[in-house]
Amino acid sequence: APAASYQDATDWYRQREQQMVTYLGEFGYIHDASREAGPAGLTSKEAYTAAIKRLQRFAHLPETGVVDRRTLELMERPRCGNKDELDETQDSSRRRHKR
Amino acid sequence: YVTANSKWEKNDLTYRIENTTPDLSPGRVRRILSDAFKVWSVVTPLTFTEVMHSDADILIQFSEGYHDDGYPFDGKGSVLAHAFFPGNSKGGDTHFDDAETWTFNSTDGVDLFMVAAHEFGHALGLAHSSNTEALMYPWYQGYTDNFRLPYDDVQGIQTLYGSPSNRLPNTPRPPIVVPDNRDRDRGGEAPITPRPTHPPTKDDTPCTGNIDAITVIRKEIFFFKGSKFWRRGPNGLAAKPTEISKFWYNLPSDGIDALYERSDGKITFFKGDRFWVFSSNHMVTNFPVEGRRITELGVGKNVKKIDAVFTWPYNKRTYLVTGDMYWKLNAKEDFIEYDYPRDMSIWKNVPVPLDSAFKYWDGKTYFLKGDQYWEFYDNKMRTRKKDGRPIGRLLGCHNGELKSDMTLR
């Protein structure tokens, strides 16, 4: 539904963005350390956008990098609580190594 | 498919169902879970045997909200269940959110068979697959009649355990491969060892470690062990240790678990499931002498004590630590933030369970355990060195004794 005012729209978007950060952290798209330090810390805007894109790629959605309608619908879907992306510190076999 | 970094190093696994959901009869739940294990046993050499009263590799439970593993459930919808990758302690354990309506072969709720089969995939060492056809795809896809394990999952599990013809002779093997780190992989946790008790003896100086609590109050470092505390300021060590209860009246006389200086200058002490707030060395007005329960701060009812509390200079927020979990207090320091507890592995290389932690004069955070301490490197979210350093260096000890003339670095 169209927002009643610009302020409503901004509040709505901020709320969704906060939900998105929580979701991305909970399911491994933002590293736990970044999640603790917060958006002002270790997670840049670029990293946040890249995390949304990784989620969208994993779920086979268009990689828009923003919290769009399809992504919001995906977040509403019931799912397993385990992470989708293993932190590289968790999975040594997937780490990059120098030759 | 994606595999985790641990697998079971034996083929014959046991599981125990600790409780069932009221949505289905216990007998039905047992059959569904048994069938969910069969999904994996028919394509691998693995066998699964239910045990009733003995220890088991995989513990299964239905629970709601916070349930003592650092990953609280979120009520109906969204997260349905989770499982830990193979490992010791919690490894393999599988938890279902009992706020869901569990069903079998019906659209009127969440199908227990499909979710259990997925979760057991994690319990065996598979992570989430991005293949939408796969059982290990993270989003719930509803129930399927005559379910057959998709090819992606068969490939994944056989990468770990081989096909049924690869069955190993039934000889005793080491039970599990334990990852050499305890990162947040739901693959087990660091062993929890009880903190030793410290009867006050003449030889029991802080230099031997096992500090109960430590903090800086008005530029003096206070460290607590047993019934006493020591204080060291910029001019050196106070002459003698002091009995806690003779300085902070009405605190338990047998020692404290943790303390910190709040942003308003008051001091909060933790002991067991209680906390007290002092202004200087007097309890704040109208604060109950017996203390308030830590559940009033929002931590779970089954948390029996706080191991450590510290204010992290990076964001000036206060954290409570118990075992392998931690909580962040809100800005007013009167309740925990949403989305906690979290797993202590986020604080990379910090050992658990901690003895204590604090923010030092130098603006850095130090974690203490046993006779060692670790300095935390905020920008990298890890300890500066993986190994701890002797605690005596931090407290100003020389040859195992506190030196009064030593000033801290």
Tokens matching residue A90 = 């968790």
Q: Which residues pair with B322 in a beta bridge?
A: B325
Round to whole Å and give the CA distance between A21 and A15: 10
Q: Rounded to 10 degrees, what is the CA torsion of B331, B337, B338, B341?
A: 160
Res B176: pLDDT: 40
Residue B68 · residue B300 · CB < 8 Å: yes
Res B395: pLDDT: 86
Which of B71, B80, B184 lies closest to A79 in CB terms? B80
B6-10, B305-309, B339-343, B367-371: segment of lowest average pLDDT:
B339-343
Residues 6+ apart with CB under 8 A from B287: B276, B277
Over range B276-303, report the average pLDDT: 90
How many residues can be counted in chain A? 99
Whether the per-residue pLDDT at B224 is higher than 90: the answer is: yes
Q: What angle do CA B355, B361, B363 make, to 5 degrees?
A: 85
Residue of A33, A87, A25 whose CA lies nearest to B376: A33
Res B179: pLDDT: 40
Res B192: pLDDT: 40
Residue in chain B lying closest to A26 (CA): B339
Chain B residues 223-282 with CB within 8 Å of chain A: none
Tell me, what DSSP letter sits at residue A52? Answer: H
Q: Where does the pLDDT of residue B197 fall: very low under 50, low under 70, confident under 90, or very high at 90 and above? A: very low
Q: What is the pLDDT of residues B38-70, one digit of tens each?
A: 999 999 999 999 999 889 999 999 999 888 787
Q: Measure CA B68 to chain center.
A: 8
Q: Answer whether A38 sits within 8 Å of B315, measured CB to CB.
A: yes
Round to whole Å and give the CA distance between B225 and B359: 18
Q: What is the pLDDT of residues B355-379, one digit of tens each?
A: 999 999 888 999 999 999 999 998 8
Residue in chain B lying closest to A41 (CA): B379
Which of B71, B127, B138 lies closest to A86 in CB terms? B127
Min distance B118 CA to chain A CA atoms (Å):
8
Round to whole Å and give the CA distance between B210 and B235: 25
Chain B residues 83-102 with CB within 8 Å of chain A: 83, 97, 100
* Angle between helices B112-124 and B26-41 in degrees, nearest 10: 50
Q: Which residue would you say has higher pLDDT here, B399 or B51?
A: B51
Instruction: Give B-chain residues touching A77 at CB under 8 angstroms.
Output: 139-140
Round to whole Å and give the CA distance between B218 and B237: 15
Residue B134 · residue B116 · CB < 8 Å: no
Whether the per-residue pLDDT at B169 is higher than 60: the answer is: no
SS (H, E, C) chain B: CCECCCCECCCEEEEEECCCCCCCCHHHHHHHHHHHHHHHHCCCCCEEEECCCCCCCEEEEEECCCCCCCCCCCCCCCEEEEECCCCCCCCCCEEEECCCCEECCCCCCEEHHHHHHHHHHHHHCECCCCCCCCCCCCECCCCCCCCCCCHHHHHHHHHHHCCHHHCCCCCCCCCECCCCCCCCCCCCCCCCCCCCCCCCCCCCCHHHCCCCEEEEECCEEEEEECCEEEEEECCEECCCCEEHHHHCCCCCCCCCCEEEECCCCCEEEEECCEEEEEECCEECCCCCCCCEEHHHHCCCCCCCCCCEEEEECCCCEEEEEECCEEEEECCCCCCECCCCCEEHHHCECCCCCCCEEEECCCCCEEEEECCEEEEEEHHHCEECCCCCEEHHHHHCEECCEECCCCCCC
Q: What is the pLDDT of residues B83-120, one digit of tens each?
A: 999 988 889 999 999 999 999 988 889 999 999 999 99
Q: Which residues pair with B401 in a beta bridge?
A: B398
Q: Is B119 a catalytic residue?
A: yes
ipTM here = 0.81
Q: Answer whether B110 sits within 8 Å of A41, measured CB to CB.
A: no
Radius of gyration of chain A from its Cα atoms, rounded to whole angstroms:
15
Round to whole Å and give the CA distance between B15 and B18: 9
Which of A25, A32, A93 lies closest to B5 in CB terms? A93
Q: Rounded to 10 degrees, what is the CA torsion of A35, A37, A40, A41?
A: -110
Round to whole Å and give the CA distance between B64 and B197: 34
Q: Answer whether B80 sits within 8 Å of A81, measured CB to CB.
A: yes
Round to whole Å and give the CA distance between B178 and B367: 24
SS (H, E, C) A55-70: HHHHCCCCCCCCCCHH
CB atoms within 10 A of CB B231: 14
Q: Does residue A53 belong to the interface with chain B, where contact is any CB pair within 8 Å?
A: no
B155-159, B207-211, B272-276: segment of lowest average pLDDT:
B207-211
Q: Does residue B81 belong to the interface with chain A, where contact is any CB pair within 8 Å?
A: yes
Q: Does residue A95 belong to the interface with chain B, where contact is any CB pair within 8 Å?
A: no
